[in-house]
Amino acid sequence: MRVGNIRYLHFPYPDAIATFDQVPGIVDLTDNQRTGYSGELLTLDYAHKSGLGLHTSGINEGFGSTGGSHLLENYLFYRQDIGNLHFETHIGGLAVRPEPLGRKENGYNVYIGTKVAGYTAGLLYEKLHNQPVYTGIMVSFPMNNTTKAMGKVAFDYDRTPQGFAMQLPLVSGTMGGIQRKAPEGGVLVGEIQAERLRTYWQNGQVRNYYEHRKSSWGQTGSRELVVVMKEDSWQLQKEALVSPHPFNAGLKTWEKDRQGPAQLSQIVTYQFYKVQ
């Protein structure tokens, strides 16, 4: 469960189709309109080893939003790797892409992708009731000096308006008793690995920041343990372009109306030490 003003639905860690989700806009900054999800948002997600699963998100709106309680998504999914190919499909109540967000329609979407030389590329097809056909292209990049440099300053090419944008960090730091180096004589007794994700709106503003815990082992809950945080570099991880047109509409038409969520990623490891 998440409580507050929430910027996107990616929870748990987003699958390939979820990376195409609409990033909330910025009219809340200029016209006092709602662009995200406000209230108590509960997500239930079950994934079986066969690849089948069930996903439901519901919200009780609050914090200035008066929409009551309702479902945002409720769908069955299937995910599977077939050789070098990755296949996903969602079927059921899926989130509608145009704002205002928080609505759903019945339908389906399908994604198929592959990995080549460290890159991942894939195509999305989506058809919901009362909505146009959406198609998408997703490319993910291996970590290298270029993607790390772009991730450090949140560099991207933007659609609204067209041009290049960067967000330079002015202040950084930690809260609490987190350390950067292992204590002398400390014994490593546990570890949590997480991934931080930030996503852009079409004008290059990064307003979404989430940390997804991916794995853990050992002792991680005692207040007596020393916590050491190790951060990898930020990198431009993915571009997930989606348009309310089929691919055969022509490149100019497809590009004119497309949305372009881009995603930055940073791997962080929390190590827990017991000092003798």
- Residue of higher predicted confidence among 27 and 190: 190
- Of 68-77, 111-120, 253-262, least confident by mean pLDDT is 253-262
Q: What residues contact residue 260 under an 8 Å CB cut-off, 6+ apart?
A: 159, 200, 202, 239, 240, 241, 242
pLDDT at 90 over 80: yes
What sections of 61-144 are H helices per DSSP? none
> What is the C-alpha separation between 41 and 69, in angstroms, rounded?
10
Q: Residue 129 belongs to what domain range?
A: 2-275
- For the segment 139-156, what is each residue's pLDDT rounded down to a tens digit? 999 999 999 999 999 988
Question: Contact 138/239 with Cβ under 8 angstroms?
Answer: yes
* pLDDT for the residue numbered 262: 86
- CB atoms inside a 10 Å sphere around CB 260: 20
For the residues 177-202, what does the mean pLDDT come to?
A: 92
User: Rounded to whole angstroms, how far apart are CA atoms 266 and 208?
Assistant: 14
ω into residue 132 within 30 of 0, thus cis? no
Digit-coded pLDDT (tens) for 100-125:
888 999 999 999 999 888 899 999 99
For residue 236, how many C-alpha atoms fall within 13 Å in the half-sphere facing its CB? 19
Q: Are 150 and 235 in contact (CB under 8 A)?
A: yes
Check residue 259 and give its pLDDT.
82
Q: How confident is the model at residue 252 (pLDDT cuts 50, 70, 90)?
A: confident
End-to-end Cα, the chain, rounded Å: 37
Question: What confidence score (pLDDT) does residue 32 get?
Answer: 78
Q: How confident is the model at residue 57 (pLDDT cuts 50, 70, 90)?
A: very high
**pLDDT for 34:** 80
Query: Which of 189, 212, 213, 195 has its CA nearest to residue 271?
Result: 189
Check whether 205 has a pLDDT greater than 90.
Answer: no
Instruction: Please give the average per-residue pLDDT across 224-241, as a whole number.
Output: 94
pLDDT of residue 202: 78
pLDDT number for residue 64: 82
Distance CA 240, CA 202 (A): 12
The model's confidence at residue 27, banded by pLDDT at 50, 70 and 90, is confident
- Residue 223 — φ and ψ, nearest 5°? -70, -15
**Mean pLDDT to the nearest integer, 7-33:** 86
pLDDT recorded at residue 112: 97
Q: Would you say the pTM of this structure is higher than 0.85?
A: yes
pLDDT reading at 161 higher than 80: no
Total count of domains within the chain: 1
Beta bridge partners of 81: 86
pLDDT tops 90 at residue 165: no
Phi first, then psi: give them for residue 17, nearest 5 degrees: -65, -35
Q: Answer whether residue 76 shows pLDDT above 80.
A: yes
